[in-house]
Amino acid sequence: MAEIEAESRERRRSKSDVIRERLTRAEKPRTKARLPDSIADLVGSVSALRADLSQRKKAYLKNTEYGRKRNR
**Average pLDDT estimate for 53-71:** 80
Q: Is residue 4 part of a domain?
A: yes
Q: How confident is the model at residue 16 (pLDDT cuts 50, 70, 90)?
A: very high
Phi, psi (5° rounding) for residue 32?
A: -60, 125
Query: What does the alpha-carbon distance between residue 70 and residue 26 come to, in Å, rounded to a whole number?
Result: 50
Q: Is residue 37 part of a domain?
A: no
In percent, the amount of the chain with pLDDT more than 70 equals 85
Q: Which residues form the domain of 23?
A: 1-27
Q: Where are the beta strands (DSSP E) in the chain?
A: none
Q: What is the pLDDT of residue 35?
A: 65
Total of domains in the chain: 1
Q: Which amino acid is at 68?
A: R
Query: What does the alpha-carbon distance between residue 59 and residue 50 come to, in Å, rounded to a whole number?
Result: 11
The model's pLDDT over 21-44, given as tens digits with 9 standing for 90+, comes to 988 887 766 666 666 777 777 777
CB atoms within 10 A of CB 18: 19
This prediction has a pTM of 0.38
